[in-house]
Amino acid sequence: MSDGREAKGQLTRDTILAALETVKDPEIPTVSIVDLGLIYDVRVKDEEVEVDFAPTFVGCPALHAMEREIVERIQSLGAHSVRVRRVYRPPWTADRMNERARQALRELGIAPPRPAPAEITLTVFEKLPCPFCGSTDTRMENLFGPTSCRALFYCNTCQQPFEAFKPL
């Protein structure tokens, strides 16, 4: 169809969310931004789409890449204009991640985070289950890791270093 009518019919909140399932965080390439809970809202008005997108960490260098992909995916559904708004309220926390994201993280060797308390303290990182063997005989080695959102740990049982997603 060349008049765009078919494309227009595809442009709903649900079809957009389904399309965004294919957008991944390039630093965690098996987890979609929808499962991570980074999409707060999608509004469709005629062929104009506005997406509320919450960064995990504000300084995440992957934000631009993810935003570009969001725009491309929605344009391919026939949207005339797509605006991605960065939103900070409520601040993103690990509680927004779904079980599929948590399982995908484990498969990558990244321990999913515990529920985020109001104020994060070092106790959040005690006895964190190892993503490889499940042991809780683990220790935090570094609050900082290869990306802003990950910290470095070591498992005393299987003697493997591993990463953990910060609860934020």
Partner 1 sequence: MGNLSRMPEPLREAVGNLLLAMADEEVLIGHRDSEWVGHAPILEADIAIASIAQDEIGHAILWYSLLQELGWPDPDRMAYFRDPPEFRNATLVELPRGDWAFTVVRQFLFDFAEKVRLEALMGSAWTPLAEAAAKVRREETYHLMHSRAWIARLGDATEESHQRMQAALDLAWPHALGLFEPAPGEALRVAEGIQPPEAELRARWEAEVRPILEAASLVIPQAEPIYGGRAGRHTEHLASLLADFQLVARSGLGETW
Chain residues binding partner 1 by CB under 8 A are 57-61, 87-89, 91-93, 119-122, 141-148, 152, 166, 168
Q: Report the nearest approach of partner 1 to the CB of residue 39 (Å).
A: 17
| Min separation Cβ 8 and partner 1, Å | 32
CB of 18 to partner 1, least distance (A): 28
| Rounded CA separation 129/165 (Å) | 12
- The minimum distance between CB 74 and partner 1, in angstroms, equals 22
17 vs 143, beta carbon nearer partner 1: 143
Looking at the Cβ atoms of 4 and 146, the one nearer to partner 1 is 146
Of residues 47 and 52, the one with the C-beta less far from partner 1: 52
| Nearest to partner 1 of 104, 124 (CB atom) | 124
Q: Cα(151)–Cα(91) distance, rounded to whole angstroms? A: 19
Written in H, E and C, the secondary structure of the chain is CCCCHHHHHCCCHHHHHHHHCCCEECCEEEEECCCCCCEEEEEEECCEEEEEECCCCCCCCCHHHHHHHHHHHHHCCCCCEEEEEECCCCCCCHHHCCHHHHHHHHHCCEECCCCCCCCCCHHHHCCCCCCCCCCCCEEEEECCCCCCCEEEEEECCCCCEEEEECCC
Minimum distance from residue 144 beta carbon to partner 1 (Å): 4
**Residue with Cβ nearer partner 1 (32 or 56):** 56
